[in-house]
Amino acid sequence: MKAILLFITFVISLFTSNILQAQNINWKNLKSEEKNILNVNAGWEYSFVYGFGYGYHLKTKLPIILESSISLASGEVVFDDFKTKIGGQINLYHTENFYFNATLHGIYRRYGNPLVTLQNFGADASTTIGYYKSKWFVAGEFGFDKAIVTHFKHSEIYKEVYPDVKNGWFEPTTGGNFNFGIQGGYSFSRSDLTLRAGKVMNEDFKSTPLIPFYLQLGFSYKLE
């Protein structure tokens, strides 16, 4: 039975990796006095996903943005499937136009269907390297999303088929996803219009989720 639960964890993680939530920033266009960054985004992953985010630009030697966000999958019940993230991103190094950036987030997500409700804690990390101008930018990205621990609550329908199934917290032996792709954007005086696209691959590098591609359109607005 434990093997069945671990397999379910793995399968569900493929549908709920939901990597579309980091804010895409034109670092060349970000001014020191712009402290608050509002973001909305929408895209396609395992389904149509939309989200909202907030970032705070710290006054530090290395540019750092602390951020939090929520994303939701389209469906009849709004909060059946959602993900929240908290963390930040940092510009580690740059020359005149080339920037090297890193992000790190803690994740809480929920997935529900008629058979089981899952609550998951995890983390993601990513890097971007790109060419940035004040009006536009283009960059390559590489990231990893890992499900660390998942709580199962099975429905009565499921228990009728598997009466010995257990609810509770389980640590999956797999469930991580790599993503790699490109991002770019066009910047106005206080806003960025961005686009991301790429591919998702399971951590074994041998298989992919049911829908192995992602696409995201985002808009950010910066305030003092």
pLDDT in tens, 67-93: 999 998 876 666 678 899 999 999 999
The rounded distance, in Å, linking the Cα atoms of 181 and 208 is 15
Q: Which residue shows structure tokens 């660390």?
A: 148
**Is-contact 147 173, C-beta < 8 A?**
no
Measure CA 124 to chain center.
Answer: 7
Residue 185 CB neighbours (<10 A) = 23
Can you read off the two tokens belonging to residue 168? 């509770």
- E strand segments, the chain: 36-44, 48-58, 64-73, 82-94, 98-112, 116-132, 136-154, 168-170, 177-187, 191-202, 213-223
Q: What is the pLDDT of residue 1?
A: 46
Count Cβ atoms below 10 Å from residue 135 Cβ, excluding itself: 12
**Secondary structure element (H or E) that encloses residue 198, with its range:** strand 191-202
> In angstroms, what CA-CA distances link 18 with 107, 188, 189?
10, 28, 30
pLDDT band at 5 (very low <50, low <70, confident <90, very high): very low
Q: What pTM does this model have?
A: 0.83
Q: Which helix (H) or strand (E) holds 14?
A: helix 2-15
Mean pLDDT calculated for residue range 24-44: 93
Distance, in Å, from the CA atom of 190 to the CA atom of 112, rounded to the nearest integer, reads 38
Can you give the pLDDT at residue 48? Answer: 86
Cα atoms in the Cβ-side hemisphere of radius 13 Å centred on 18: 33
Q: Are 177 and 144 in contact (CB under 8 A)?
A: yes
Give the per-residue pLDDT at 7: 43
pLDDT band at 43 (very low <50, low <70, confident <90, very high): very high
Q: Which tokens hold the place of 163?
A: 């009466």
123 and 105 in contact (C-beta within 8 Å)? yes
Q: Does 191 score more than 90 pLDDT?
A: yes
| Gyration radius from the chain CA atoms | 19
Mean of the per-residue pLDDT values of the chain: 86
pLDDT of residue 6: 43
Q: How far apart are CA 38 and CA 15, in angstroms?
A: 27
DSSP 203: T
Would you call 97 helix, strand, or coil by DSSP? coil
Per-residue confidence at 212, pLDDT binned at 50, 70, 90?
confident
